[in-house]
Every structure is written in structure tokens, then in C-alpha cells.
Amino acid sequence: MTVKAFAPAKVNLTLHVTGQRADGYHMLDSLVVFADVGDRIEVAEAPDLALTVTGPRAAGVPKGAENLVLRAARLLDPDRGAHITLEKHLPAEAGIGGGSSDAAATIRALSQLWGISLNAPATALGADVPVCLTAKPMRMQGIGDLLSPAPPLPPLWIVLSNPGVSLPTPLVFRALASKSNPAMRPQSGASVLGWLADQRNDLQEPAIGLAPEIGTCLDAISAQKGAVLSRMSGSGATCFGLFESADDAAAAAAAIQGRHPGWWTVSAPLLK
């Protein structure tokens, strides 16, 4: 028996850092959505736990116990075996939750294969794992453990572009000058897109300070026809643009890829 699961790219349309606890964990307020592009997980029955990594982004992915996929399997059940294949399409350390989404997809697939549910806190694997388990638009607060439904979004398409820079999340948080910033303002009156434009990613400025290529990427996206919002996702370095037309998004991705062939650039619809 085999079970397959999709691990979509996670995108922080907003990311407000609202505080830091005594134990070092940062408090967040973020609107999270998922794009119809990502990695793929397949699990099969096996006597021991093993991981195979394939796909165009397989190079450099750790295959040992530190991999979040294997950690997710052991969190679900510390003793059972399975052969897990991770088909890697998303860049690593890119601010789009690749590892967290992979872990969440592994939990979904193994839960079906093994016939069990997760009984441990998913935040043990990282702040993004609980929201990735839903794979639906969510407002994420606390340390990633407080989830509530996102405001209704219109049909949107997204362009994701990464200028080939890997940014470790702890490095970006250390560069953030203020750890206590205002939470997202309630939506009132304005359209969702207008409200989104008034929100922030508090990690964007420190990330650009560490990797100026992010600013170049944002400029490239915002210059495209039909781009209604451009911002960095997560701790970077992937940036996104929102579009109300699939054709505009595809044309924007093609234009950016043509001018910057070394960047990772895709267009996709947002998942509902």
C-alpha cells in the first residue's frame, strides 16, 4: 500500500512580529495562504523508516534524522517503519515553508497509511507545521499554535520568485531591530487587497539588509503588469506578487524568468 500527499508552498501574505517570549520564541500575527506549487510525498509500507529524496531540488537536502520528514514520522510514531519518498521542487530556506509543508504532508500520508492520528504538538517540528497541516488560508498567531480562518479572499494568482539566496530564519530574526510590533489591523471597509497592502512583513527590511537581492526581486515583481501587491514571504528570500488574472501572472513569471534566468520563478493559483 502507498499513500501520496501534496506539500504546497506556504506564503505569508503578512508577517507581523508582535513580541518575544522569555524562552526565545517569537510571537507572530500572520495571514498564511498556500499556492498550487510544491513538493510531493509518497509513503509505502516497510519494516524500517527510510527516506529517498528525488526531484529537481533534491541536491543538498539532508537525508539523515535531522530531516523534518523523518522527524515528523517519528513524532507520529517513534517505532513504526515506512519508506518515504520526497520529490523536492521548492527551494530550501526560502521563506515558503518547504520543510514544514513536507513534514505536514508526511504526517497526513502516514496517518492514513498507519491508521493513527497525531497526538503530539505539531509546533515541536516548527512554528509553520500546524498551519501547513491545514493547507488552507489561515490567520496564524502566537508561536504558530493559534489558528483561525482567514478573511475570504477573491480568486488570486501568485508569482513566486527567489533570487537564489538562502536565508536561515534565525539570522533574519536576529537582524530585526524591534521584536514588539503592532499586530494586524482588523479589516474594515476596504477591500481585502487594499487591507493587505496596509499590512507588513516585519522581516522584509532586515532580510534585505542581509541580502539586497531581495529588493531587486521585489522591484522586478512590482514592475509587472497586473501586480496588485508585492512582498517578501516569511523570512525570505522568496518574494511574491499577487495578480487578479492567471494570464497576467503567467506573463509576469515568464518576463522575470527571461530577465533573471538564474532565479527560481513560478506562477500558480492560490489554494482555497
Q: 155, exposed or middle or buried, with CB in 10 Å at 0-12, 13-18, 19+?
A: exposed
Question: Max CA-CA distance within the chain?
Answer: 57
What are the residue ranges of helices labelled H in the chain? 68-76, 98-114, 129-134, 169-175, 192-197, 204-210, 213-222, 246-259
Q: Which of 10, 29, 88, 248 is catalytic?
A: 10
| Spatial CB neighbours of 88, under 8 Å, sequence gap ≥ 6 | 39, 53, 54, 55, 56, 57, 58, 61, 98
Sign of torsion, CA 133 139 140 141?
Answer: negative
For the question of residue 63 being annotated catalytic, the response is: no
Reply yes or no: is the peptide bond before residue 237 cis, omega within 30 of 0.
Answer: yes
- What is the three-class DSSP state of 161? strand
Q: Which of 29, 39, 102, 128 is catalytic?
A: 128
For the question of residue 272 being annotated catalytic, the response is: no
Enumerate the active-site residues.
10, 128
